[in-house]
Chain A
């Protein structure tokens, strides 16, 4: 069962993908995309995790204390910042879609309909 923790990011990815495919509302779709993205946070943190190790902050720890991997944590920070700003951008796009077409249902939007 040593790999059971990795099932969580796989599960988050799968349910997020299911939500994106079946979504009938753009705001809901953006929420599902956030769920998919959070699977990458969990996966990165799980990869760098070490049982019984400290956080990689040596303010009150002697150097050489076993600590988890700071590189993946730095990646997660980048991931979260990009995720938050892309969500803001997508929501702005959804607002424009609603203003122009009066609907947020992807199935009611026809390509190239004016």
Chain B
């Protein structure tokens, strides 16, 4: 059914497409990046900070202050989701899954359980590897933290709800997330304490290519990795609690 609304929407989107295309034609041709900022960082970064991953270097050193803001956007969004979802959760959500219209709940297949148990350890280890090699190879605290957070979802799929719920303590996750965010601020304030501007990279730079090189960058990435992993774990926890049947007497 083609309603008037659809026609107007299509018309407006065609206009938006035309305007966006016209604007984008003013950019330098694709594949001809003109510089100079990226080139300056690519040339100076490895020598100045002993890091080899320029993306992490930009995020956690040259523009570290912006990443602090990014970290707190994540923090605020997780808090917002938790506040919204916990409001209606009964005091005692039962462990039974909620059923829609008595529809049968299929058993978790053994292939899923086995595959997830197999992937669980590898995924968690890979996430930690990505966090620890932030300044060296592609990845960093956000990416690695998201991978570790995904491992907690595999825990749920592989071991089932009761075992997963027993391991996910929201108090531990909340504390870890806050501690990660605080550690980032702490690293910034430590620089002020030493008489330098906020978040100045004052630690010894080490040997390029070593896991402890590039000063404060690995520490910031570990802090962010912990915060992101805990944030994702919290989100999974809150959303999966929504699938439980409310205890009788609790909220609808």
- A78–B167 CA distance with the chains assembled, in angstroms: 30
B11 CB to nearest A CB, Å: 10
- A70–B59 CA distance with the chains assembled, in angstroms: 10
Can you identify 15 A-B contacts, CB atoms within 8 angstroms?
A: A2-B29, A4-B30, A9-B24, A10-B21, A10-B24, A17-B12, A50-B31, A57-B54, A77-B59, A85-B77, A85-B231, A86-B77, A88-B78, A88-B235, A91-B81
Which of A's residues lie within 8 Å of B, judged by CB?
Answer: 2-7, 9-11, 13-15, 17-18, 21-22, 43, 46-51, 53, 55-59, 63-64, 67-74, 77-78, 81-82, 84-86, 88-89, 91-93, 95-96, 99
Instruction: Determine whether the beta carbon of B17 is less than 8 Å from that of A13.
Output: yes
- A49-B33, A81-B142 known; 17 new pairs, CB 8 Å cut-off, are A3-B30, A5-B30, A17-B12, A22-B9, A47-B33, A50-B31, A56-B38, A56-B53, A58-B42, A64-B43, A68-B33, A71-B37, A78-B59, A81-B73, A89-B77, A89-B80, A92-B80
B242 within 8 A of A: yes
Contact of B55 among A70, A81, A84, A88 (CB under 8 A): A70
- A99–B152 CA distance with the chains assembled, in angstroms: 27
Instruction: Determine whether the beta carbon of B73 is less than 8 Å from that of A74.
Output: no
- A17–B39 CA distance with the chains assembled, in angstroms: 35
Which of B's residues lie within 8 Å of A, judged by CB?
Answer: 5-6, 8-10, 12-14, 16-17, 20-21, 24-25, 27, 29-33, 35, 37-39, 41-43, 45-47, 52-55, 57-59, 63, 66-67, 70, 73-74, 77-78, 80-81, 84-85, 87-88, 136-138, 140, 142-143, 146, 209, 228, 231, 235, 238-239, 242, 252
A26 CB to nearest B CB, Å: 14
Instruction: Determine whether the beta carbon of A63 is less than 8 Å from that of B46.
Output: yes
- A4–B20 CA distance with the chains assembled, in angstroms: 13
Contact of B41 among A5, A46, A71 (CB under 8 A): A71
Instruction: Determine whether the beta carbon of A57 is less than 8 Å from that of B81.
Output: no
| CB-based nearest B residue for A86 | B77
- A96–B242 CA distance with the chains assembled, in angstroms: 11
Contact of B252 among A21, A43, A81, A99 (CB under 8 A): A99
| CB-based nearest B residue for A67 | B42
- A51–B33 CA distance with the chains assembled, in angstroms: 9
Most buried by A among B47, B55, B57, B59: B55
Contact of A95 among B47, B80, B85, B142 (CB under 8 A): B85
Q: Which A residues are CB-close (under 8 A) to B137?
A: 57, 59
Contact of A14 among B14, B140, B209 (CB under 8 A): B14
Instruction: Determine whether the beta carbon of A48 is less than 8 Å from that of B38.
Output: yes
| CB-based nearest A residue for B38 | A69
A45 CB to nearest B CB, Å: 11
